[in-house]
Structure 1
Amino acid sequence: MKRIALITGATSGIGEATAKLFAKNDIDLIICGRRKEKLATLENELSSLVSVRTLVFDVGDKDAVTKSLQSLNGIWRDIDILVNNAGGAHGLELFVDGDVNDWERMIDYNVKGLLYVSKTIVPWMIERKKGQIINISSIAGKQTYAKGMVYCASKSGVEAISKGMRLELVPYGIRVCNIAPGAVETEFSVVRFKGDKNKAKSVYKNFKPLIAEDIADSIFYCVNVPSHVQIADMTIFPSAQSDATTIHRE
C-alpha cells in the first residue's frame, strides 16, 4: 500500500525538493504552504506520478492550520510521514538591535507552527499505531552564534520538541527524526536579509554549500530504513563546514 506524506513549507527549498523526491518514489503527497500559485504549479508537476492534495495556510496561524488539516478526510488522514519543514530566519542583528517582529515570526513559524501542525496529525498516527515524523532543525539549534540568538533559540526548541516527541511516541510505533542542516543554499538567506540577494549570495561565497536536494536525500533515507531502525538525530554539513560559524572558503 502506498504511503502518504504531508510536507509543510513545500513551495520552495527543502520542502519542494522533498516533495519531488517522494513523488518519484511513489509516495502520495499533501503539500502545504502559503503561496497558492507555487503549490498549484508543484501539484501540476507531480500529479502525473502520484496523488497530490494541496493545503494553503500559514503555519503560524493556529486556526488556519487546524481548519486546513481538519478538512482532510478518508485515506488522506492516514498520514505515514510528517515533514515539519516550514520555518525560517528573519534578520541577523545583535540582540539590542533586533526587531521584535522578526523574533515573533521566527518563534511563530519555527516552534509554534510545528506544534500546531503536529497537534492535529499526531493523534491520527497514534490511532493507527504507526507513522514517522521528520522535524527540520538546524545546526543553529545545537550551537548558538552571535546575532542569531532568537533564531538559535527557536531551533533549539525544535530539538527539544523532537526529543520529547520521541519519548512520548515510541510506545505507539511512531519514529521521530530531527535533521539539523548546516549551510544550505535555498531562499533561506534571501528571506533572512529581507530580499537582499547580493547579501544572501555572499553567505555562500567561495565554498560549495549544500543544496535542498541533499537534505531531501537525507530525509528520504530516514523514512526508508527498516522498521526496527530509528534515526533519532542527523547533522549535515557541506564538506567545507565544521560547525555553525566555521567554514573554509577558498
Structure 2
Amino acid sequence: MGHSGEYEWAPPGVDPSQPSVARVHDALLGGMENFAADRSVARKLRDTVPEVVDLVWCNRAFIGRVVDYLIREAGIRQIIDLGAGLPTVENTHEVAHFADPRTRVVYVDNDPMVEPHARAILNGNPYADAITADVRDVDGVLGHPSVRRLIDPAQPTAILIIGVLHLLPDQDDPHELVRRYMSAMPSGSHLAASNMMSSTNPQAQALEAMLHVTMGTGYFRDRDVIAAYFDGLVLVEPGVVHFPEWHPDERLPGPLATWEQLLLGGVARKP
C-alpha cells in the first residue's frame, strides 16, 4: 500500500499485482487505498476518456441523491449497498444517517480490502457494517450474519446495485440477479440500479474496450435492457434516466456532456 517504494504490503487474500474495480475506483478519486496495478489502470482509463474522473464523481453524486430520497421521501430505514467499493466521501451510511441516524446500512463488496477500511470509517457505528461477499451469491449475502443482524427481512429495504451491473456479463444473468434480490424483499422495498449505456459515440466505445483490456469486464447495454431491471416494480419519477437528470439538486445548465450520457439508472418501488 502507498504510492512510493517497490514493495506494497497487502492484507491476506489480496494480490496487489491484480487490479480490482474497487481500488481502481479509489485511484480515480485520488484515494490512497490502491496499488501500482490499480493506478496503472486508472491512468489508462484517464488517457482513453479524460472525463472518467468526472464520471465517477457523477456516480457518487447520484448515489447521494438516491439515498437522500430513500430516507426522506420513501421512508426506507434499511439499505444493502451491493458492490459498495472502498470508502470515499459522502458514503451511503453518512448520507443516510444525516437524514436519520438509526438507518441500518450494510456494505457488500468482493474486494477483501473494503471490509476493514469501511469498518474503520464506521468506527463501531451500531447501525452500519461491511461484509466481504460476491454480490452474485444472493443467498450468501442475505444470509450473512451481519445482514441478518442489521436487516429485518419483514421491513422494507433498499437494494443499491449502482456501478455494478455493467461489470457482469450476460452469462451471469444480471436481470435474474436483480430479480432474486427483489423477490426476497417485502412490499415497499426499493431498487436503485444502473448500467453503463451502450452508444455509437467513439468515446463510449473506447471506454468499454479499455475496461475489457485492463479489467476483463465492462458490458455497456442499451436503454431497453437497462429499463428491464425494473420490470415488475413501480418506477420513481423521472424513471430510467441519465444520472444528472435524476432529482438534480439544481436546474441542469444545458445539454448533457458525452460522458454524462453513458450513465443510466433509476429507482423503483416493489408493490
TM normalised by structure 2 equals: 0.46
Q: Which has the higher helix share?
A: 1
* Greater relative CO (CA pairs within 8 A, separation 6+): 1
